[in-house]
Structure 1
Amino acid sequence: MADPFPQDRAHSTVALVLAGGRGGRLSPLTDARSKPAVPIAGQYRLIDVVLSNLANSALRDVWIVEQYRPFTLNQHLAGGRPWDLDGTRHGMRLLPPAEGRTEEGFAAGNGHALHQQIPLLESFGADTVVVLSADQLYQFDLRPALERHHSRGSELTMVTTETNDDPSRFGVVQVDGHDVVTRYDHKPDAPQGRLVASEIFIYDVAALAEVTRHLTAERGDPDGDSLGDYGDSILPHFVEHRRTHAYRMEGYWRDVGTIEAYYTAHMELLDGTGLDLDRPGWPLVTNPKHAPPAWIDTQATVSASLVTSGGRILGEVEHSVIGPGVVVEPGARVSHSVLLGDCVIPAGAVLESVIADVGAAIPPGRSGGPRRGQGDITVLVPADRGPNSSDETTGH
């Protein structure tokens, strides 16, 4: 079979972004779009964070593994142009579900998705693959981690961080005094410590191929469906049998895979304790929706808020994120809320602790309340959103 890639081996590291999950814990925000396409911080999308980190780390071969509702995501990615990843021999590559499989080639988990890409990585000539998710917020230069990975002869490097959240939501990592990973527990009921995997994994491609082929052969499953989540299959095997090290990420990190975490990330952004949108030398890049500058009327009151281009504020906005095309009418009040875009807050409406999706129907009167803990976030969606609706058709 002919090699599908140009034989240019100048770059031997591939970044593989797993961007195909349904993101059920972020429902209803993911009912009409893939999780990486969910808006964040007004004008951005979740996938902008991982792509900006990769581009700022000078990684040029970035492959996006897609699956669930990819159309809106592909519109936003624009072939990689916003991140200067639209090269001919190197750049962004979109990897749709594998052909010839049931359910249109959908992977049975991220471990299975990783297994599916190994032949392409080998064909490309990659010796290192960085596997990343698209639902974490952080700013991290991968180059020192890659250098350490190679200098130590690691077959897997787990980028780790300390979390203040419930560690049972993540992969909990134990390390010795030499940063060797001695234990990995995927979402344990009784976590030992707060050191967790940040969902950035650096693999030696040859070792990854050997491990996945060993596991699939042992299970009599050449297609790899049984690999499921790599936290339950691939990672434990590496820790037990392969040279596996940890590399600590310092600074802000937050997984935004749940509604509560997504809301909290926005409140941290407004408090100045979250993602640094204006970090010198490390821009957060997006493919923006073109809109005129935001308009703040003379009768408006705005405090401690982010107002995106295209917004029109005539009422009161406090400690909130206002997305593009949002109109806050006179006599309306928005507090501690996240409005994703293209909705009208009518006169007399009061929003508190609310997430309003793009095009959401905002009722008159009060929505939400002063409590902002788990389960106390009100999410509003478009009135016509049914089980088969999608923003794939509108391009939001």
Structure 2
Amino acid sequence: MADPFPQDPLTATVALVLAGGKGSRLAPLTDARAKPAVPVAGQYRLIDVVMSNLAHSGIRDVWVVEQYRPFTLNQHLAMGRPWDLDGTRHGLRLMPPAEGRDEEGFAAGNGHALHQQLAAVKAFGADTVMVLSADHLFQIDLRPALAAHHERGSELTVITTETDEDPSRFGVVQVDADHRVTDYDYKPRHPKGRLVATEAFIMDVHALGEVLDALIAEAREQAAACEGPENEDAPEGSALGDYGESIVPALVARGRTHEYRHEGYWRDIGTLDAYYKAHMEILAGNGLDLDRPGWPLLTNHRPVPPARIHPGAEVSGSLVCSGAVVHGTVTESVLGPGVVVEPGATVHRSILLGDAVVPAGAHLDAVIADVGAHIPAGRIGETKPGPGNITVLTPSTRCADSDDETTGH
């Protein structure tokens, strides 16, 4: 049933946060939790970034699409309370996979996931849908982007940025002088420029429905031509793959796609190297701005006592979260809740996610230690690690489906 109350552009918009991916490139941090639930900057979770951007932008209808290991993620989201999204008519909705209708079941890609949610978006009465990933660090007021989308009569608005990374990892965008997107090339081998999509999109619901219908009809015709029995039971929309490969190019081809340029910091942290780099940027003061006035990063805080820095401890250039206890030396590092650095231990350029003890005699350099990790005494890590050479420590034992519940966070 559509919302019977009058709507403005904000309340006629549903934000779909795609949070169901396995995040295998961030393993082993994602072996026992969903990628959006991975801790970041000590006391936050990755999903806090997109949730805070939406809350500060006044977007009241936020639907989190889940699939892989949602348990800890749901515990953290707390039905939207940390972001004031626990309303009656408007607020947070959790969208887990389900059985019972043709469009439900496990998604075969984020394009399929978008198709699965379209009927619910239409039934809600929204005319605009924002599609955002939960694995990027950036701070943006989405209201100007939404206003530009409606003023231009766009079917799709791509929020873009100039990347300092390899653009072939992203969707590369070409635009004209009027900010109209003239070409979208998903993960090209030979990218034409450094302007990329941030994986944040604003879509017209009607246009999206038309494109999905056309793509699904085309896939159905191709499957029928193959005449293979393996195609008969495939769920509708499962051939859509990644929306960057199918849905976005189809919308761009209709000629009513524009960009909205994000000029600030943006980092995709889908890999361990990017995760580590993003934390070093935060510590250096040129990454995600945790102190941005009027735009705090909101989270479901863990009730722990203040950090304790004992006499004789040395701490510099670091983030030390509540519940941490430091006796030793910590430099250019992040200590999550419950981390203990014993006397004689040294932590340098490392990220300790929480509830771990760095014993006397340990010297960590460029180490990521997961929640509850076993950290042995001795020298661990590389002084000058290269790509793919970050040392990751995990708990020596973990229940098959513990999802961090044993750590209390």
TM over 0.5: yes
1:227 equivalent in structure 2: 240
2:49 equivalent in structure 1: 49
1:92 matches 2:105: no
Q: Report deviation, 1:184.
A: 0.9
Distance in 2 separating the partners of 1:23 and 1:285: 23
1:276 matches 2:289: yes
Is the 2:12–2:127 contact (alpha carbons within 8 Å) kept by the matching residues of 1? yes
2:359 equivalent in structure 1: 346
Is the 2:138–2:266 contact (alpha carbons within 8 Å) kept by the matching residues of 1? yes
1:28 equivalent in structure 2: 28
Alignment counterpart, residue 316 of structure 1, candidates 325, 329, 332? 329
1:152 equivalent in structure 2: 152
1:178 equivalent in structure 2: 178
Distance in 2 separating the partners of 1:260 and 1:286: 24
Is the 2:367–2:392 contact (alpha carbons within 8 Å) kept by the matching residues of 1? yes
Cα distance change on mapping 1:6 and 1:246 into 2, 3 Å: closer
1:133 equivalent in structure 2: 133
1:109 matches 2:109: yes
Q: Report deviation, 1:192.
A: 1.1
Q: Aligned to 1:191, what secondary structure does the other structure show?
A: coil
Alignment counterpart, residue 250 of structure 1, candidates 263, 266, 289? 263
Alignment counterpart, residue 365 of structure 1, candidates 372, 375, 378? 378
Distance in 2 separating the partners of 1:212 and 1:378: 43
Distance in 2 separating the partners of 1:394 and 1:305: 23
The one-letter code matched in structure 2 to 1:7 is P
Cα distance change on mapping 1:49 and 1:217 into 2, 3 Å: same
Is the 2:172–2:191 contact (alpha carbons within 8 Å) kept by the matching residues of 1? yes
Is the 1:98–1:116 contact (alpha carbons within 8 Å) kept by the matching residues of 2? no
Q: Structure 2: where are the runs of 5+ without partners?
A: 221-233
Percent identity over the alignment is: 68
1:241 matches 2:254: yes
Q: Report deviation, 1:100.
A: 3.4
Q: Structure 1: where are the runs of 5+ without partners?
A: none
Cα distance change on mapping 1:73 and 1:9 into 2, 3 Å: farther
Is the 2:3–2:125 contact (alpha carbons within 8 Å) kept by the matching residues of 1? no
More moved, 337-346 vs 379-388: 379-388
More moved, 5-14 vs 181-190: 5-14
Distance in 2 separating the partners of 1:227 and 1:312: 49
Is the 1:32–1:392 contact (alpha carbons within 8 Å) kept by the matching residues of 2? no
The one-letter code matched in structure 1 to 2:208 is L
Is the 1:14–1:63 contact (alpha carbons within 8 Å) kept by the matching residues of 2? yes
Q: Aligned to 1:105, what secondary structure does the other structure show?
A: coil
Q: How many residues are matched?
A: 392
Alignment counterpart, residue 297 of structure 1, candidates 305, 310, 316? 310
Cα distance change on mapping 1:371 and 1:389 into 2, 3 Å: farther
Q: Aligned to 2:98, what secondary structure does the other structure show?
A: coil
Aligned-CA RMSD value: 1.5
More moved, 60-69 vs 379-388: 379-388
1:191 matches 2:177: no
Is the 1:33–1:392 contact (alpha carbons within 8 Å) kept by the matching residues of 2? no
Is the 1:311–1:324 contact (alpha carbons within 8 Å) kept by the matching residues of 2? yes
1:14 equivalent in structure 2: 14
The one-letter code matched in structure 2 to 1:346 is P
Q: Report deviation, 1:300.
A: 0.5
